[in-house]
Structure 1
Amino acid sequence: MTSVTENQLVGRSVARREDPRLLTGHGRFVDDIELPGMLHAQFVRSTVAHGLITAVDLTAVRRVPGVVAAFTAADLGLGDITARLDRPPAEFVPTAMPVLARDRVRYVGEPIAVVVARDPYAAEDGLEAARVTYESLPPVTCEEQALAPGAALVHEEAVRNTLVDVSLFATEGIDGIFENAPCVVRVEARTGRQNALPLETRGAVAQWDAREEQLVVHTCTQIPHQVRTVASRCLGLDERAVRVIVPDMGGGFGLKCVVGREEIAAAAAALRLRRPVKWIEDRKDALSASFLAREQHYTARAAFDADGRILGLDADVVCDMGAYSCYPFTAGIEPLMAAGEMPGVYKVPAYRVRGRAITTNKAPTAPYRGVSRPQYVMVVERLMERAARELDMDPLEIRRRNLITDFPYTGVNHITYDPGSYLESLDLCEQALKEAGWYDRQAAARAEGRHIGIGYSCFSERTGYGSAAFAARKMQVVPGFDLSEVRMDTGGAVTVTTGTMSHGQSHETTMAQIVADALGVDLAKVKLHQGDTDRITYGWGTFASRSITVGGSAVRRAAVKLGDKLRAIAAAEWGVPPEETELARGRVRRRDEPGIELTYEHLADIAYLKSHLLPEDIEPGLTATAAFDVTTDGTFSNATHGAVVELHEGTGQVEILAYVCVEDCGVAIHPQVVEGQCRGGIAQGIAGALFEQITYDAQGEPSATSFMDYKVPTAHEIPDVTIHHLETPCAFTETGAKGAGEGGTIGAPAAVLNAVNDALRATGVELDTTPITPETVHRALTSPALEQTR
């Protein structure tokens, strides 16, 4: 398609289309939905981490004033949610996750029964009356217990509590490389279990539509079509008989890109009662019983030559995935991500990795922003820092010697990296911190006995995963493509659909920018529809920074096809070839005579109201559909983060004084949105580095069930972030854009940890585990080694 690009919208920070609605209180979230005769649901949850259910007595529940019904799995006839990988039994063990636990519970908070009442307070009263008895079993609460010989089994079929065990990329001769290397460094790192913590907790409102013979489920999910599939299968309905609608959504971060049990159970209750049922997750359940992430253990070593060039990387990754595999990604999501992509931005000639997912008596794990990349980037960056110290090199120089600079580059992990600005981003980040005077301030502070450190992290973010990438993981359910429909009405207004799902990423604006540019219409003329399985043909939703790379590419393709049809109709009216026409701000005009033009309204009249004038080869209407899938290994955004921290001896607190991010996500559709994604991601990365963690006691009881115990940073702890943009357009997407959703989170833990270790240099202490607690920092700052330097 040929179009005029004056006043191009892509690349501009236009006013967000969502803001007037959201800022004036006209947003509509799940909990805003009120329906006639609506009931409220809550869940009887397990109070033990591991046990056999010997009895569930709901008799007293049903007598509680206001309670309408109480159901177990047997009452509702509910099935299981099972996610699978097409891998042999030695590599993958599937685990069925019942919608409601029947015979056995495997973590504190597991749903056993659903109580339905006239209001939320009566539902809570009903929970108090439930009586569940258990035969307790030994809980498995940590990696050491899970893998110990003779350990109690969370699932009988999972030998040594291992769900995934995959060894990859064993380069021939790698043992000899390590034996003969001039420098070998090691890191053992652990990262704490986290909650994705969206502002809006999970929730659903389900109702039976008798006229349409359809179960309608309003829920805050990132993957509406997958929720429809699972709900229909668990409830024994045709997919046509289930409609999933997502209203405005207050965050997801991956927690909502898997199918949860509660929305299925609430839907089953609505189907049974033929009355609307609402379930809203409270914060206690969200913290303790919802999907969690990040609990990982790395043992890694790297071999270097005497000039600081890496010779080999060898790693063992163990991810504690909790009690079950999530649907559709399975328990393999974290170890396979780490194992497949760990070499990252560096030229690693030899590689070996073992990735394992273990099961424990904890809430199950779902993807969370970054999915293992914050962890393995932290490990690799620690290896770089340690090698620099061993070889007496500048830590940035050793990175420069190992960064990929020639593209396309096919790594030892069989992934081809498209062009990026790895070296340029590092150089600019260092320059920014130097020009801001932080190196001079650090030297002055050290002379005063203060502890200021500067740390960096270099990384890439693989985005736009297509079907080929997910198929390589041997997922039985293979995400990848996206579909879009673009339709113009008789007034020239445009409606566009996307299978992606915004939960704060401004899709209503960015997708409209793409369409408006492709068709040459005003932004106000474009309206996006998303999150409705009856209106959207199919879609995989939003995760893994795929919305613009995959969804936006499908949208642009559909818009281009519609533009071609407009040109074909105009060309037929003029009697010229379509190649002699072009789009120009709501019109089609002659290329040879620009003064001759037809408005879109005129062409729409022909397409809809005077279709007898259309040539035989042009169908009536103005609608175009298109699909897009990434057939390459994907595209790679990249960045360098630099953090400046000060450690306070008296309290052990880590104060972040400055933070610089130099990022390259290709063409930024809306630069302000990209910066917002970056800042929000960095805040979450800092949270993981310094604050957030859920632990469990010996009985499997979670430590953090409120914000009194689960420490999250406020605006006071998150610094101002300076962002610099580089732009390497992507050759594989329709817009030149790469993904930007996860990069901030990926780079922050490593940058903060390296800065803390730089500040601790005089102590002789090095930290490799997050979160970094004040107690740990205080012990390091009061160590005898530090006293000897004074």
Structure 2
Amino acid sequence: MNTEAPRIAGQGIGARLTRKEDRRFLTGRGQYVGDMRMPDMVEVAFARSPLAHARIRGVEKPEGYAAQVYVMQDMAGVKPILAASGLPGFQVSVQHPLALDKVRFVGEMVAMCVAPTRAQAEDLAEQVFVDYEELPVVADMHAAADGRGETLLHDAWERNVFLETHVDKGERTAAGDGVEVRRRLRTSRQCMMPLEGRGVLCWWDTRLDQLVMVSAAQLPHINRTGLAECLGIDEGRIRVVSPDVGGGFGYKGLLLPEEICCAWLAMRLRRPVRWLEDRREHLSANANCREHAYDIGVHVARDGRLVGIDCDAIVDSGAYSSYPFSACLEAAQVGSILPGPYRMDSFVCHTRSAATNKPPILPYRGVARTGVCFALEVMLDMAARELGIEPYALRERSLVRSADMPYTNITGKIFDSGDYVACMKTAVASLDWAGWRERQRLRQGGQRPQKRLGLGLAVFCEQGAHGTSVYHGWGIPMVPGFEQCHVRMTPDGVLEVQIGVHSHGQSLETTMAQVANSVIGIAPDRVRVLHGDTATSPYSTGTWGSRCAVMAGGAVGTACEQLGERLKTIAAGLLDVERDALVFVEGGLATQDGTRTLTHADIAHTWYRAPQRLPAGVDPGGLALTAGYRMQPDAGTFSYACHACVVEVDTLTGQTRLVNYVVCEDGGVLLNPMVVEGQLLGGLAQGIGTALYEEMPFDGEGQPLASTLADYMIPGAGEMPPLTLEHMQTPSPFSKFGQKGIGEGGAIAPPAAIVNAINDALAGIGAEVLEVPASPERVLAAIARAPEAA
């Protein structure tokens, strides 16, 4: 519920305040798991399977070092990871922290080796001998989804599919004299590639009789819950700390088998135990993302109106269901978000979450939205090409109208606010679409130049800040409720803000301080935002799904409002005025006429150091309280954007160069526009990687083929195009300050917009790229298949 506008201008909501976090990060004073060392600490390395599918007939530990090598049988009483879903038909995978009886992907952990240094632990891992009985490999998601073959990843299953879903909405009508376009599109498997890999440091605190786990994690409270379940100890005996984390993007949003192993070992040895993931482990042994396949058709009327969509989608979910999001989140979401920001008469979607002998898939920045945006937006451009109209003209006929907001779409999503058409038109104008069309005509008219220009765009909406009702419906072991914030004012008037979400690049130490400033006028540099420690942070499901600005921002705002009422009571007594005569200003409170003021420090000093001056009727809870916040309705906010770009495609080499790029986005009321721009730039870089460079291929035996950064290509500064960012700010009527979640938006649209531009460039020779990344090899293959190639 959007209450009132922030009451104090300046350094609060909407200000381009420099990030507080940068003071330590830019001077090398950040503290990551890899920076932490403890007395008597030992290091861990894992012996990992070289095979994608095999039975374990036996494990031989290095002679003389048996006490330093552990297998699953040694970890008696430790339970497997079970990430189930309550959705009908979901098949549950059982993932032991160390493989038991069977391995199901290359890199799965078989033995844990411990030594004084990582090098020594790796030497031990090299000497572990595992007797494998090779089994047939399921490496193709289509074969797995279609039930072909007799090989089952999990012996008790009926087929290699975690979950199958069906959606059939609306009434199917004929497109009349319009067009029906059908294609098969695919997004490749990727690695998430945060700058910092995963890391875990565990020890047993003998004074508190408590396990302490420091982990590069996005969801410390959820990790504690899962850890307690697997280790069989109560959550009060576990403390999880997430220090500075060098990027998450979903890769650090799960319970790790490595966390369970290190925690168990620390309890056994009563010594600090640390594991740091190296880049080769990250690339070849741990979770991936984004491998989708779409058999999709769109039906469009002659005037460009979108009539209907039908789709059969498969997601390669890998070998196990990861805790807590489960293996079905990506594919099942396809069935609810594929319609995007459009109106239509009918929507039919069949999805399958295929199980294969590959690492588990995780929700990466943008989650399923990047895939569905690619599938739908590429199809809409193809339909526009068949109708002979500009792609933006086709979209304008079916985008949800601003006058209809809030709008419930065909799958029941509630769009809170916005003007999608105006957003698209702004992006098209900012790119100078008409000017580039003329340049394209002059370059390509009547000729077949080697370097061809193309224009593309993509429009999407992003549901963020998902609430209780949404995730309860998924049936997974994590349902967000009230997001809480604890505030406490110190005796000298500094405000401590404790939040349950974790900041690993979202700038929450800055933006949450800005929220506090807007509500009670306290200077951001006198606000300490604390997070990432289950011993002090309120319980939270953590940072994921573009929820922090809305949910944590709402909680901080609510807590500060309640604290403000207590501050007013004390100030009114000290100034001998009515409470209603006081207003918050920068630095404290003042009478309406501004003649009398009190600073936050004055009021705090009275409560803590001079209580004899307190007026009657003060709240005995003092200047510390916890408040909760949940949106109503809790269906989330819908930010949206249009990405438009110009590319140059070299038909001789297949290289694609980004010539110009425009993003017009609407994140509601922006807590800090500079932070939003940073989020968009980072997401755009990742989206460009998805579109043109990043791919984790596997061969038919389930072997990863890009195990180093010499093979796995990621974009750098030189691959970023000239960029224009346009902001729209349509307040959400559902959130506290009108803000919307926007953290994932930059990564969603680039694959669709860039491939649309490539296909526009190649349209004159009849070539189409239908898979990302649109590598030079795929571009050249598309040209070779084109009718004009002959």
TM-score range, shorter chain: over 0.9
Letter in 1 for 2:596: I
1:24 Cα deviation from its structure 2 partner: 1.0
Letter in 1 for 2:708: S
1:76 Cα deviation from its structure 2 partner: 2.2
2:301 equivalent in structure 1: 305
Query: CA 1:321–1:522 in structure 2 vs 1: closer, same or farther (change >3 Å)?
Result: same
1:134 equivalent in structure 2: 132
Q: How does 1:490-529 map to 2 (within 5 A)?
A: 490-529=491-530
Q: Return the alpha-carbon distance in structure 2 between the equivalents of residues 106 and 782 of structure 1.
A: 38
2:626 equivalent in structure 1: 625
TM-score (norm 1): 0.95
Any conservation in 1 of the 2:199–2:275 contact (CA below 8 Å)? yes
Any conservation in 1 of the 2:222–2:478 contact (CA below 8 Å)? no
- Is 1:60 the counterpart of 2:59? The answer is no
Any conservation in 2 of the 1:762–1:785 contact (CA below 8 Å)? no
RMSD: 1.9
Deviation digits for residues 687-725 of structure 1, max 9, x if unmatched?
111111111112111111101111112222221321111
1:262 Cα deviation from its structure 2 partner: 0.6
Match for residue 734 of structure 2 among 732, 735, 747: 732
1:523 Cα deviation from its structure 2 partner: 1.3
2:472 equivalent in structure 1: 471
1:572 Cα deviation from its structure 2 partner: 3.8
- Is 1:398 the counterpart of 2:394? The answer is yes
1:571 Cα deviation from its structure 2 partner: 2.6
Q: Return the alpha-carbon distance in structure 2 between the equivalents of residues 151 and 452 of structure 1.
A: 49
Letter in 2 for 1:722: T
Match for residue 225 of structure 2 among 229, 235, 241: 229
- Is 1:425 the counterpart of 2:423? The answer is yes
Match for residue 749 of structure 2 among 743, 747, 750: 747
Q: Return the alpha-carbon distance in structure 2 between the equivalents of residues 2 and 205 of structure 1.
A: 44
Letter in 2 for 1:71: Y
2:711 equivalent in structure 1: 709
Deviation digits for residues 278-297 of structure 1, max 9, x if unmatched?
10001111011111111111
2:245 equivalent in structure 1: 249
1:408 equivalent in structure 2: 406
1:779 Cα deviation from its structure 2 partner: 3.6
Any conservation in 2 of the 1:679–1:721 contact (CA below 8 Å)? no
Any conservation in 2 of the 1:464–1:634 contact (CA below 8 Å)? yes
What is the DSSP-based 3-state SS (H/G/I as helix, E as strand, rest coil) of the residue aligned with 1:92? coil
1:298 Cα deviation from its structure 2 partner: 0.8
1:211 Cα deviation from its structure 2 partner: 0.6
Match for residue 34 of structure 1 among 9, 33, 37: 37
**Structure 2 residue runs without a partner (length 5+):** none
1:594 equivalent in structure 2: 594
What is the DSSP-based 3-state SS (H/G/I as helix, E as strand, rest coil) of the residue aligned with 1:293? coil
Q: Return the alpha-carbon distance in structure 2 between the equivalents of residues 330 and 783 of structure 1.
A: 39
1:367 equivalent in structure 2: 363
Q: Return the alpha-carbon distance in structure 1 between the equivalents of residues 542 and 755 of structure 2.
A: 33
What is the DSSP-based 3-state SS (H/G/I as helix, E as strand, rest coil) of the residue aligned with 2:150? coil
Q: How does 1:481-560 map to 2 (within 5 A)?
A: 481-560=482-561
1:769 Cα deviation from its structure 2 partner: 1.3
Q: Return the alpha-carbon distance in structure 1 between the equivalents of residues 121 and 531 of structure 2.
A: 32
Q: How does 1:242-321 map to 2 (within 5 A)?
A: 242-321=238-317
| More divergent stretch after superposition (433-442 vs 712-721) | 433-442
Deviation digits for residues 8-39 of structure 1, max 9, x if unmatched?
42212212111121111111111000100110
2:460 equivalent in structure 1: 459
Deviation digits for residues 406-425 of structure 1, max 9, x if unmatched?
21111110111111121111
Sequence identity (%):
38
Any conservation in 2 of the 1:254–1:367 contact (CA below 8 Å)? yes
1:382 equivalent in structure 2: 378
Letter in 1 for 2:582: T
1:305 Cα deviation from its structure 2 partner: 2.1
| More divergent stretch after superposition (366-375 vs 11-20) | 11-20
Letter in 2 for 1:381: E
1:770 equivalent in structure 2: 772
Any conservation in 1 of the 2:287–2:362 contact (CA below 8 Å)? yes
1:327 Cα deviation from its structure 2 partner: 0.8
1:436 Cα deviation from its structure 2 partner: 9.2
What is the DSSP-based 3-state SS (H/G/I as helix, E as strand, rest coil) of the residue aligned with 1:262? helix
Any conservation in 1 of the 2:297–2:309 contact (CA below 8 Å)? yes
Match for residue 96 of structure 1 among 94, 97, 106: 94
What is the DSSP-based 3-state SS (H/G/I as helix, E as strand, rest coil) of the residue aligned with 1:98? coil
1:570 Cα deviation from its structure 2 partner: 2.1
What is the DSSP-based 3-state SS (H/G/I as helix, E as strand, rest coil) of the residue aligned with 2:661? strand
What is the DSSP-based 3-state SS (H/G/I as helix, E as strand, rest coil) of the residue aligned with 1:82? coil
Letter in 1 for 2:535: D
1:84 Cα deviation from its structure 2 partner: 1.7
- Is 1:219 the counterpart of 2:218? The answer is no
Letter in 2 for 1:132: V
Q: Return the alpha-carbon distance in structure 1 between the equivalents of residues 748 and 279 of structure 2.
A: 26
Any conservation in 2 of the 1:607–1:620 contact (CA below 8 Å)? no
2:21 equivalent in structure 1: 18
1:179 Cα deviation from its structure 2 partner: 8.1
Match for residue 323 of structure 1 among 315, 319, 322: 319
- Is 1:186 the counterpart of 2:182? The answer is yes
1:160 equivalent in structure 2: 159
- Is 1:9 the counterpart of 2:12? The answer is yes
1:375 Cα deviation from its structure 2 partner: 0.9
Match for residue 106 of structure 1 among 95, 104, 107: 104
1:678 equivalent in structure 2: 680
1:608 Cα deviation from its structure 2 partner: 2.3
1:579 equivalent in structure 2: 580
Any conservation in 2 of the 1:452–1:647 contact (CA below 8 Å)? yes
Any conservation in 2 of the 1:80–1:96 contact (CA below 8 Å)? yes
Deviation digits for residues 99-151 of structure 1, max 9, x if unmatched?
11111111010011111100111011011110111121111001233133343
Any conservation in 1 of the 2:502–2:532 contact (CA below 8 Å)? yes
Letter in 1 for 2:96: P
1:390 Cα deviation from its structure 2 partner: 2.4
1:649 Cα deviation from its structure 2 partner: 2.4
Deviation digits for residues 554-607 of structure 1, max 9, x if unmatched?
11111111111101222344555433322122222233x531333322322332
Letter in 2 for 1:347: R
Letter in 2 for 1:366: L
Query: CA 1:439–1:180 in structure 2 vs 1: closer, same or farther (change >3 Å)?
Result: closer
Q: How does 1:73-84 map to 2 (within 5 A)?
A: 73-77=72-76, 78-84=78-84
Q: Return the alpha-carbon distance in structure 1 between the equivalents of residues 203 and 531 of structure 2.
A: 20
Query: CA 1:451–1:236 in structure 2 vs 1: closer, same or farther (change >3 Å)?
Result: same
Q: Return the alpha-carbon distance in structure 2 between the equivalents of residues 724 and 383 of structure 1.
A: 26
Q: Return the alpha-carbon distance in structure 2 between the equivalents of residues 562 and 648 of structure 1.
A: 61
What is the DSSP-based 3-state SS (H/G/I as helix, E as strand, rest coil) of the residue aligned with 2:496? strand
Q: Return the alpha-carbon distance in structure 2 between the equivalents of residues 186 and 783 of structure 1.
A: 17
What is the DSSP-based 3-state SS (H/G/I as helix, E as strand, rest coil) of the residue aligned with 1:360? coil
Deviation digits for residues 235-284 of structure 1, max 9, x if unmatched?
22211111111111110111111111112211111111000011000111
Q: Return the alpha-carbon distance in structure 1 between the equivalents of residues 277 and 345 of structure 2.
A: 48
Any conservation in 2 of the 1:608–1:620 contact (CA below 8 Å)? no
Query: CA 1:72–1:181 in structure 2 vs 1: closer, same or farther (change >3 Å)?
Result: farther
Q: How does 1:115-126 map to 2 (within 5 A)?
A: 115-126=113-124
Q: Return the alpha-carbon distance in structure 2 between the equivalents of residues 62 and 458 of structure 1.
A: 59
- Is 1:342 the counterpart of 2:341? The answer is no
Letter in 1 for 2:127: A
Letter in 1 for 2:334: A
What is the DSSP-based 3-state SS (H/G/I as helix, E as strand, rest coil) of the residue aligned with 2:487? strand
Any conservation in 2 of the 1:430–1:642 contact (CA below 8 Å)? yes
What is the DSSP-based 3-state SS (H/G/I as helix, E as strand, rest coil) of the residue aligned with 1:292? coil
1:616 Cα deviation from its structure 2 partner: 4.6
Any conservation in 2 of the 1:442–1:453 contact (CA below 8 Å)? yes
Q: How does 1:610-621 map to 2 (within 5 A)?
A: 610-611=610-611, 613-616=614-617, 618-621=619-622
Query: How many residue pairs are counted as aligned between the two chains?
Result: 778
